[in-house]
Each structure stands twice: as structure tokens, then as C-alpha cells.
């Protein structure tokens, strides 16, 4: 660990980024050697945490909303905005404008994103979900679901017992009910084994 990078991050870069964010709740912690481009397009809730070497960038067509108590492991990337690959006036590198339709990146409360994961335009990660290390998300992940792989597959429910799910929903003050979570998970093919 580079002590100068840690001190620079803590006393200069982190406060600078926090001031430029569209919104940042208390407890904003950005890992050393991490980078935020266009922070004014990010809304971030309270108790945000990243490990070191993370990269966050987007554009006006893909603003980012991150809820409370969200954690990113080291070396994660969040990249918003896709280029229009139907561009015909020359090489894609000459097209300076991304696709004109707006598509937010949404990460709800209590999400944990594992090391080296990549979050792209179109990602909507439900409350309390876990994205496994090196996962890639550009689609919807239901609440309280563990997803892994490239692209991340909605593998299984984080809580297989409805009592445990009810406990966490109550403890975090969720707007979801057990029935809502189970219905969304079922709709998206998430495996749920009932406790015996």
C-alpha cells in the first residue's frame, strides 16, 4: 500500500469528489487510488464504501443512483453510457455522442459488489443483492439475490428462509415485503429453496 496515495485520497481527493457529487450522504468512503469522472452525475446515499483502485465514470445519458449502505470491493468499475454503433458517418471513434436515450444505472440499498466486478449501463441491482467477484451486470438483478458470472446470472436467493428474509427487511427498514421479494425473484427465475 502506498501511504502517499492513502493520504492524498483521504485528505484531498475524497473531499473534492464528495463536494462535486450531485448528492452524497454521510459516511462517504472512497478507497485509495480510486477515480470518479463526472461526479455531478452520481447520487450516492449514506455509508458508501469502496475498496482501492475503483473507477466510476458515466455521461448525461446514463446517470447513476446508488442507495445507502452500498459496498464495492477493490478494482471495481462502474461505466455508464454506450456509443451508437449504428453510426455511419465514419469510424465509431469520430462519433462524439453516445446513444441519445437515457438509461440510468440504479444500485439500491445494502448491495455488496465483489472485487473486480463491472457495472454497465442498464444495470439495476435490487436491494440487498450480492454481485460476485468479477461479475458483469448490465441488466436487472432482483432484490436479495446472489448473482455471479459474465454476464452475472441470478443464481440464488440470498435468504432461502422467509423468516430470515422478513428479519432483514424489518431490520433495514425496507419498502419491500417478503411476498414482493419472492414474487420478483420467481418472475426472474431465481432459485429459492424453502427451509425444511
Q: Which residues are catalytic?
A: 83
Spatial distance between the Cα atoms of 144 and 115, rounded to a whole number of angstroms: 19
Amino acid at each position: 500500500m502506498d501511504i502517499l496515495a492513502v493520504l492524498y485520497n483521504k485528505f484531498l481527493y475524497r473531499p473534492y469528489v464528495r463536494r462535486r457529487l450531485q448528492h452524497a450522504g454521510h459516511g462517504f468512503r472512497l478507497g485509495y487510488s480510486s477515480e470518479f469522472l463526472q461526479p455531478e452525475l452520481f447520487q450516492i446515499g449514506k455509508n458508501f464504501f469502496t475498496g482501492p483502485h475503483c473507477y466510476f465514470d458515466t455521461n448525461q445519458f446514463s446517470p447513476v443512483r446508488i442507495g445507502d449502505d452500498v459496498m464495492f470491493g477493490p478494482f471495481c468499475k462502474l461505466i455508464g453510457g454506450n456509443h451508437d454503433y449504428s453510426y455511419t458517418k465514419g469510424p465509431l471513434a469520430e462519433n462524439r455522442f453516445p446513444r441519445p436515450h437515457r438509461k440510468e444505472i440504479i444500485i439500491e440499498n445494502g448491495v455488496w459488489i465483489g472485487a473486480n466486478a463491472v457495472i454497465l449501463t442498464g444495470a439495476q441491482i435490487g436491494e440487498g443483492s450480492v454481485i460476485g467477484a468479477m461479475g458483469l451486470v448490465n441488466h436487472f438483478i432482483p432484490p436479495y439475490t446472489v448473482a455471479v458470472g459474465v454476464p452475472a446470472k441470478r443464481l440464488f436467493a440470498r435468504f432461502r428462509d422467509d423468516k430470515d428474509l422478513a428479519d432483514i427487511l424489518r431490520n433495514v427498514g425496507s419498502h419491500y415485503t417478503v411476498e414482493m421479494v419472492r414474487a420478483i425473484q420467481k418472475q426472474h427465475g431465481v432459485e429459492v429453496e424453502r427451509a425444511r
